[in-house]
Structure 1
Amino acid sequence: MTKVVTLGEIMLRLSTSPGELLTSADTLQMHYGGGEANVAIALSGYGHDTYFVSKVPDNALGRGVQRHLLANGVSTAYLLQGGERLGTYYLEAGIGKRSPRVTYDRKHSSFANLSASELIFEEILDGASLFHVSGITLALSQDLRELTLEALKTAKRKGIKTSFDFNYRATLWSQEEAATAILPILPYVDICSCGELDAVFLLGIKEADHTLSKEERLVYYYRKINEIFPNLEVMVSTFRNNISASSNELQGNLYANGTLYQSKVHDIQPIVDRVGGGDAFAAGILNGLLEKMDYEKTVTFAAAASALKHTVHGDCSQFTKEEVQRFIESGSGRISR
């Protein structure tokens, strides 16, 4: 099996039921989730040997995280224990025209206080084919920015492919802070998940002509990014049309070698849980690249995997390759016999 390593924070998620506000809810649903953990879980379901690098407290919640990862086939060999708390976030479920809303409670978490001296990436990455991380990790502390940069440098030195998802969250840091942290790491990235807003507001690229189609604008931005960072082999993103909180249209994009490849548009309704849809797409892209699918099949698989994730509760996608492929071949709504 292909060894994949991801680095990031996993948190406790507490969610309201649709139709309830967080301010008045008296019961909350509990899940564990985090971008890089979600990617590791999805890739494990596709048959890859995945390792999640993080730190959780030595208490019932930390043990719950470990059980969650192991139950989904992810190795916890590099899951450190220590610190005082597991980061938490609250999800107020959207409905109709009211969008979902996230409230973070993650400061001073065990992972946010992780120091570079606690991890030896020379050993962790030994034998790996891919290392994945996101901008959320960079946002949490200066130590984690330095740790991530060193991990990416180590991966490149060992000939390991690297993947970075911008995953910008305005509630965690400013655009200026994000740009300062992200720019130094991009020379060490092979596969990048980013879109138009990232190009303009984080990378400072001049806005495209608004008379162009959205596809033409995306190609413009990806070409400009490639001029600055020619090391980026693949760039990916999604087009999402938010019709309502329970109805979206989703299309996957993959840019490589000067060409844009796109999936079909998925009409997703009703949405059971949108959280983690981007991670499912990222994992689908990485699976396709690891398995050396052609680019069109890769983005088709990734978009289908993301669409399927919207149909289940929780942060992570637990579908197999075969289930995603059946969905692609049969379309939605048909009984699989």
Structure 2
Amino acid sequence: MLRLSTQQGVRLNQAGQLAVHYGGAEANVAVSLSHFGYQAYFVSKIPANPLGEAVERHLNSHGVKTDFLKKGGQRLGSYYVETGVGERSAQVTYDRKNSSFSDLKAEEIEIEKILSGASLIHVTGITMALSPSLQKFVLQLFQKAKEMGIKVSFDFNYRAKLWTQQEAALVFKQIMPFINICFCGELDVVHMLDLPQADIMLPAEERLKMYYQTIQEQFPNIEYFSSTFRTVISASSNHLQGNLYTGGKLYQSKVHMLDPIIDRIGGGDSFAAGILWGILEGLPARQIISFAAAASALKHTVYGDCNPFSREEVLQFAATETGEINR
């Protein structure tokens, strides 16, 4: 996707210039996993024009393979970000209708070919929100992955500006039996999986653990659940903590103090990539959640949608005190 952002303190309807970045949820995860040492492929469709060329160049510059990137269609999906400041949060305006990707048909992709040799696939709810054809494609992709013994990762990543909770719930319930790694938070499971809301007097971590236990009883195929707790002090100051549930236990990272936030967009994708890296590496749950939260915290310190930090840099950051000089 093409992202166009205002400068801090400038409203979108006042802007005379916009900063350009390229990204998107799955693309951002692929970029991070590439920087973490894995061979990552991005499956999508882009227009055969200079913007499509820029997308391919962006992915290749981060080591992401574009062998399965289809070309055609009318346009590259885009979105506009009115950058938040102080108590005013950022605002996103989408312009994605009839994009090349939203018009992608299942028959355009050779599913067995793209899954051949893969260890894991990752998809988000944003993709499924774009069109019925993409919903059909993702369901077929997950079914085939299960047949081939490939791990399936899914991030609910619900966006109210793209579809309703009811629409998302119908789609998500169809794919739950095929998921091995699930990224979802408390509001996701209450509103889209129809779980009764837990007692709000309970600590947040206890409620989350109860939700994950209940979902796992319904869908024992899910080995890992993950999410973050984010406390918003202001648009440029947040507290972030990671959660990972596996083997009947909830593991939490330390609380990261994000202040100042340079760019929040892509922080969740960096977190997801960190979880996936740890699972692929076979690390203990405590190390996985520490790495993932550190990766997300680092992403908040740079402009753009994707995380440019290497595995070694994330590990070093996770092991040191915040702000300490590395000499």
For the criterion TM > 0.5, the same-fold answer is yes
In the alignment, which of 208, 216, 223 is matched to residue 198 of structure 2?
A: 208
Which residue of the partner structure matches residue 260 of structure 1?
Answer: 250
Which whole-Å CA distance do the structure 2 matches of 1:322 and 1:227 have between them?
37
Is 1:336 the counterpart of 2:326? The answer is yes
SS in structure 2 at match of 1:322: helix
Amino acid at match of 1:25: A
What is the deviation of 1:210?
A: 1.2
Amino acid at match of 2:144: T
C-alpha displacement of 1:218: 0.5
State the partner residue of 1:3: none
Query: Which residue of the partner structure matches residue 70 of structure 2?
Result: 80
Aligned residue among 224, 227, 239 for 1:249: 239
User: What's the CA shift string for 1:46-88, capped at 9, x where partnerless?
Assistant: 0000000000000000000000000000000000000010001
Q: How does 1:162-177 map to 2 (within 5 A)?
A: 162-177=152-167
1:40 is displaced (CA, Å) by: 0.1
1:121 counterpart (111, 117, 139): 111
Q: How does 1:172-187 map to 2 (within 5 A)?
A: 172-187=162-177
Distance 2:194 2:217 in 1: 13
Matches of 1:179 and 1:332 in 2, distance apart?
39
2:135 corresponds to which residue?
A: 145
Tell me the residue number matched to 1:159: 149
Match 2:290 to one of 275, 300, 312: 300
Can you give the 5+ residue segments of structure 1 that lack an aligned partner in the other structure?
Answer: 1-10
* Aligned-partner SS, 2:129: helix
Q: Structure 2 CA distance, aligned partners of 1:55 and 1:102? A: 23
Deviation digits for residues 246-266 of structure 1 (CA, Å, limit 9, x no counterpart): 000000000011100000000
Match of 1:135 among 125, 128, 136: 125
Q: Which amino acid is 1:263 matched to?
A: S
SS where residue 274 of structure 1 aligns? coil
Q: Which runs of 4+ in 1 moved over 6 A?
A: none
Shift of 1:331: 2.0
Identify the residue that residue 21 of structure 1 maps to in structure 2.
Answer: 11
Structure 2 stretches of 5 or more lacking a match? none
How much does 1:329 deviate? 1.3
Q: How many residues align?
A: 327
Q: 1:327 is aligned with what amino acid?
A: F
Matches of 1:304 and 1:331, distance apart in 2: 11
Distance 1:165 1:129 in 2: 17
Which amino acid counterpart does residue 161 of structure 1 have in structure 2? K
1: CA distance, partners of 2:325 / 2:17: 34
Q: Matches of 1:336 and 1:64 in 2, distance apart?
A: 34
The residue that corresponds to 2:183 in the other structure is 193
Computed over aligned residues only, the root mean square deviation of the Cα atoms, in angstroms, reads 0.5
Distance (whole Å) between structure 2 residues aligned to residue 331 and residue 182 of structure 1: 39
SS at match of 1:154: helix
CA displacement, residues 298-324 of structure 1 (integer Å, 9 cap, x when unaligned): 000000000000000000001001100
Please state how far the C-alpha of 1:224 moved relative to its aligned partner.
1.3
Q: For residue 16 of structure 1, what is the amino acid of its counterpart? A: T
Spell out the pairing of 1:29-48 with structure 2 (5 A cutoff).
Answer: 29-48=19-38
Measured in 2, the distance between the counterparts of 1:224 and 1:102 equals 34
